[in-house]
Amino acid sequence: MNILTFDIEEWFIEKVYFGAKESKYAEYDRLLDEILLKLEEADLKGTFFCVGKIGSDFPSVVRKIAEAGHEVGCHSNTHQWLNKLTYEQAMEDTHVAVDSLEQCIGKKVRSYRAPAFSIGNSNLWALEVLAANGITCDASVFPASRDFGGFPEFAKMEPTVIKYNGIELHELPIVTTKILGKDIAYSGGGYFRFFPYRFVEKEMKRTPYSMAYFHLGDLNPVFSGVLSKDIYERYFDEPGTLKARYMRYIKTNLGVKSNKKKLFKLLGQVKFTNLAVAEELIDWSKTPSITIK
């Protein structure tokens, strides 16, 4: 089972950080239309994790996704990493986001992905926050260390029931593969841009479960130059040294130009489904379950 997801945040990021340029919004609109058309041609349905603020400020974006038959999931309200929020702040952020998306599409929102996969050992309470807001299926676990989160202790790279403090969530984690003894992701974001196409296709067809994740920014440069110190520090909430800003520029733009072709080829070759359908199909009484204390 291969699961297809997109994190939709670009309109919000443009509005808050880059000057709300109409030309950028139009570019994102066009790119989303292209993706939706490609998915229709390939007869695939994905989950689009949308930032709640896009539901309130750009409702036509979210509605267009829902009207094309895709699942709308929640990607926080203002795209702040959950490990930087308190329990109360995360509760408020999730509540507002889910409410905004539900009002926008007139349907319950059940699936969630944290910005930058920011649920890990240090903020397990986030699982309670999700359950309290009606989320039943989460795709925030990244079972390896990464910049702003990661959950290296989460060993199960397959659908898993997580039990924590009286709540239960269905977890559909990111999958990693062993390369030179290290656990490396390959099925989305910068990893997908970096690895040769054939390698990714082969891995997805070989493994019984995979989780693909993309952003519009993986197909179109979000910023064309190195970020200013001010914007970098506001967005990433860490010191904007020259080195950090150059590294981020390289990471963000690596392979972007040829990536649309690569993704569209994958959508023609691999059969994908979305979280809502997967949640229905999976017999959760037979999957692994982990109890976190």
Contacts to Zn ion by CB under 5 A: 7, 9, 115
Provide the minimum distance between the beta carbon of 82 and Zn ion in the complex, in angstroms, as a whole number: 12
For residues 141 and 33, what is the distance between their CA atoms, to the nearest angstrom?
A: 29
For residues 89 and 267, what is the distance between their CA atoms, to the nearest angstrom?
A: 37
Nearer to Zn ion, 185 or 282 (CB): 185
Provide the minimum distance between the beta carbon of 231 and Zn ion in the complex, in angstroms, as a whole number: 16
Nearer to Zn ion, 77 or 282 (CB): 77
Provide the minimum distance between the beta carbon of 281 and Zn ion in the complex, in angstroms, as a whole number: 26
* Greatest CA separation for the chain: 50
Nearer to Zn ion, 73 or 282 (CB): 73
For residues 266 and 157, what is the distance between their CA atoms, to the nearest angstrom?
A: 21
Provide the minimum distance between the beta carbon of 188 and Zn ion in the complex, in angstroms, as a whole number: 11
* DSSP count for the chain of H helices, then E strands: 12, 14
Nearer to Zn ion, 167 or 254 (CB): 254
Provide the minimum distance between the beta carbon of 135 and Zn ion in the complex, in angstroms, as a whole number: 16
For residues 129 and 259, what is the distance between their CA atoms, to the nearest angstrom?
A: 35
- Dihedral sign, CA of 279, 171, 65, 52? positive
Provide the minimum distance between the beta carbon of 75 and Zn ion in the complex, in angstroms, as a whole number: 6
Of the candidates 141, 111, 146, the residue with the CA atom closest to the CA atom of residue 124: 141
Nearer to Zn ion, 148 or 154 (CB): 148
For residues 54 and 60, what is the distance between their CA atoms, to the nearest angstrom?
A: 9
Across the strands, what pairs with 185? Answer: 176
Nearer to Zn ion, 195 or 214 (CB): 214
Residue nearest to Zn ion as judged by C-beta position: 7
